[in-house]
Structure 1
Amino acid sequence: MSVLADMLAEVFREPTLAGVARELATLAAPLWLAALVGLLIGWAWRPRWAAAVAGHQQPVLAAAAAAQAPAQPSLTQATAAKAASSVAPVEEELAVSTPDLMHLRRVVEEKDGGPAWTHMMDRTLPTFRYQAWKREPQNGPPQYRSSTIFEDASPDVVRDFFWDDDFRISNTWDDMLLEHETLEECAKTGTMVVRWVRKFPFFCSDREYVIGRRIWASGKTYYCVTKSVPRPSVPRSSKPRRVDLYYSSWCIRPVESRNGDGAMTACEVLLFHHEDMGIPWSIAKLGVQQGMWGCVKRIEPGLRAYQTARAAGVPISKCAAMAHANTKFVADELTASENNTEAGSTSNNAQAEKPKHWTGNLPKVFVIGSVVALACTFDKGLLTKALVFGTARRFAGPGRR
């Protein structure tokens, strides 16, 4: 303030009124120039909240206009809106939903972006062939992929076979499953939440799984998703120990028989599995490698027994009946929708990463230039250029340093 007072006192020492006016104009000119530059910058470089408010005005005005206009939607539109409002929340609330189907399809097509698969095993018997692969992500347990081709088997029966928990226990082809119960079920989509207790070796406690599962169908190809889901309503206990990370999903589809007659009488099961059992992953990998073939060999006799029971007219269990309530979809349409989503995401990312044109920095150039000009005008022992240039540098942002 003392500096400004000294400057004004020096101005008013002029002997004539014209001299005082001339000195005041000289003193005020940079201030008016700075104000004009600030006005231009304020218009060209509006803050984000101002743009947001401006953008918000249009939908508000449109809504007001729509409220004043008589709205009489057609019966078809009202019915569609009602159907959408009733279906959408159900899909969102399901334990297994459409994104899980999309993920499984990407894994089947090896387009999920994960590490490459390493071949582990290839075994062939007269009635089926088994191949296995594994990969080890940086974060997470080892993942396994297998292809089992059963001769003279239909996808429908194989689908029911893997879904039938009652038969797993009664036939003992899956001798690790000790007990199971259904916690939730959706008769419309076939989505289920089940609780499993599986037997582990004597040096480990048994494991408990809370699993969500659902089946989608595209023609005779079935995508069967089973994964762990959080259910705080199911109390935890020390024994059996809860497994929180579990993923085991299949793609079941008809394939050509190896008999060479061209008939699609064989069935391929692509399995993708990983879980965190609560033991060191190195030990878990060793156990899988040692016990994999022994477990796989038990599946084929179990499937043949299941086929015989179905042919004899034995009623299917409730679990197997839920496999019939699958969700139909068209593979090509889903693929096109997925591609459009990815393309839109890529376009948005490209637009976001596009380098800005130099004209986008004009507001900063104006501000920095104005600051420098003011510094050169007023710095007659009153201001330090170091302070002004430092302020300009901070205003330009850390990206300029």
Structure 2
Amino acid sequence: MALLSTLLEILRRPTMVDVLSELMMFIAPLWVAVIVGVLVGWAWKPRWAKILGCSESKDASPASPTATSLSTCFPSIPSLNALKFQLPSCVSWTTDDKEGLSLPPAATKSDSSSSQLDSSGPVSGEDLEHLYRLVEERDGGPAWIQMMDRSTATMGYQAWRRDPETGPPQYRSRTLFEDATPELVRDFFWDDEYRLKWDDMLIHAETLEECPTTGTMMVQWVRKFPFFCSDREYIIGRRIWESGRSYYCVTKGVPCSSVPRRNKPRRVDLFYSSWCIRAVESKRGDGQLTACEVLLFHHEDMGIPWEIAKLGVRQGMWGAVKKIDPALRVYQKQRASGAPLSHCARMAQINNKVSVDYQRCLESSTDNSSEVEKPKNPKERNVPKLLVVGGAILLACSLDRGLLTKAVIFGVARRFARNGRRL
């Protein structure tokens, strides 16, 4: 009755313009509530719906690594496109029954292209080609939007983000470490035993399989997440290619039938995190190649709304990144004192040589460019912000997990609204 009386009151307005304006003001909140409810309901749909969706897509061929590829120096970044949601984990569920790790046959560490172009194993020459195109900004993807530019006395850091048509947000970063060699930084990022000491999000790291000839490894990571999210498990394939003093380090999620899935920790299937590490000139301007540049490309789908994940990345990125440089300096001193190498660090030194001819072939084939844009005007993102705030409110009202969880969700929404113009 209240709804009917309100409509009748609107229709009694003296002019048609007044009637239409009142109707728009009356209907708009309802449509916003419907849209937010649909988006949140789709993002947080029950497990049986996901399983049903996976069973219907068994006949679909999995996406190629070059189509979906993209820890940065900040480890494990989550990624909800405002209007599109993906379930890439369904693809991996259909491939988990296949053989786990099929390492390439023994090969020599030489300049021939045979070791670069092999298509066997969890990480192949296609992954090297894709990373090379990302480094040269010729992968044909959307323009990169700068997010951050920070620095300390011994480290500089820049970060960009882009939103592809399908899949989670992709991140690109450039970190400059003063007075560090590419070889040291390469070993540092590969050393899981040492990472467990400085990365407080990593709670378990185990090598599952490895190839002593190519250096290819399959490792299992378990990362700690906030109390209202379950921990995440990663099965990662990784491998390093060497070109002079430049190192192309590929890590990505791979299927593994030997490690069964569990409800907790939840496995992340879509994961890509790769580096190009190389010697560059110091920012001191002395012309010496005494600094090390790390170009990092990262994306993953951790099963949470991407817009909320982007907010978390934005708020926590610098806090995570600035922990890396002190850890690197301690690692540097340990190596200088003659401390023994860990097994993972020794594996990082088994690299696949990239010949000059092969690199020229890659350069001639990278004809699609990607652009770098300045940060967008905050006014252009008002609608996604409204959806995130509304989604957080509906999510808090729909979850029965106590006042503390709801307070956290409301706090995220409130901070997003308050700081929105600066994001």
- TM bucket (normalised to shorter chain) is 0.5 to 0.7
Matched, 1:240 2:257: no
Distance 1:267 1:342, change over 3 A: closer
Q: Distance in 2 between matches of 1:338 and 1:292?
A: 32
Q: Distance in 1 between matches of 2:129 and 2:262?
A: 34
Q: RMSD over aligned Cα, in angstroms?
A: 2.0
Cα deviation, residue 140, structure 1: 0.5
State the match for 2:147 in structure 1. Answer: 120
State the match for 1:145 in structure 2. Answer: 172
Q: Which runs of 5+ in 1 are unaligned?
A: 1-86, 344-401
Matched, 1:256 2:288: no
2:340 partner letter? P
Task: Identify the match of residue 213 of structure 2 among 188, 195, 198.
Answer: 188
State the match for 2:248 in structure 1. Answer: 223
Task: Identify the match of residue 238 of structure 2 among 213, 218, 223.
Answer: 213
Task: Identify the match of residue 162 of structure 1 among 162, 175, 189.
Answer: 189
Larger proportion of helix: 1
Q: Distance in 2 between matches of 1:331 and 1:283?
A: 44
Matched, 1:204 2:229: yes
Contact 2:139 2:366 in 1 (8 A): no
Cα deviation, residue 109, structure 1: 0.6
Distance 1:162 1:136, change over 3 A: same
Distance 1:332 1:245, change over 3 A: same
Q: How does 1:71-110 map to 2 (within 5 A)?
A: 91-110=118-137
Contact 2:191 2:342 in 1 (8 A): yes
Cα deviation, residue 217, structure 1: 0.3
Between 1:209-218 and 1:92-101, the stretch displaced more is: 92-101
Distance 1:290 1:321, change over 3 A: same
Contact 2:215 2:240 in 1 (8 A): yes
Matched, 1:327 2:327: no
Contact 2:138 2:367 in 1 (8 A): no
State the match for 2:162 in structure 1. Answer: 135
Percent identity between the two aligned chains: 67
Task: Indicate the SS of the match to 2:263.
Answer: coil
Q: Distance in 2 between matches of 1:340 and 1:111?
A: 9
Q: Distance in 2 between matches of 1:115 and 1:272?
A: 14
- CA deviations 1:210-246 (Å, max 9, x no partner) are 0000000000000000000011221000000000000
Cα deviation, residue 302, structure 1: 0.4
Cα deviation, residue 91, structure 1: 3.6
2:181 partner letter? S
- CA deviations 1:41-94 (Å, max 9, x no partner) are xxxxxxxxxxxxxxxxxxxxxxxxxxxxxxxxxxxxxxxxxxxxxx78x94331
1:189 partner letter? T
Q: Distance in 1 between matches of 2:253 and 2:202?
A: 16
TM-score (norm 2): 0.58
2:355 partner letter? V
Q: Distance in 1 between matches of 2:281 and 2:141?
A: 29
Distance 1:202 1:156, change over 3 A: same
Cα deviation, residue 340, structure 1: 6.4
Q: Distance in 2 between matches of 1:102 and 1:149?
A: 24
Task: Indicate the SS of the match to 1:103.
Answer: helix
Q: Distance in 2 between matches of 1:340 and 1:135?
A: 23
Q: Which runs of 5+ in 2 are unaligned?
A: 1-113, 369-423
Runs of 4 or more above 3 Å deviation: 337-343
Larger radius of gyration: 1
Task: Identify the match of residue 324 of structure 2 among 299, 312, 317.
Answer: 299
Cα deviation, residue 320, structure 1: 0.6
Q: Distance in 2 between matches of 1:190 and 1:225?
A: 12
TM-score (norm 1): 0.61
2:244 partner letter? G
Cα deviation, residue 330, structure 1: 2.3
2:124 partner letter? S
Distance 1:115 1:309, change over 3 A: same
Q: Distance in 1 between matches of 2:202 and 2:366?
A: 40
Q: Which has the higher contact order (CA 8 A, sep 6+)?
A: 2
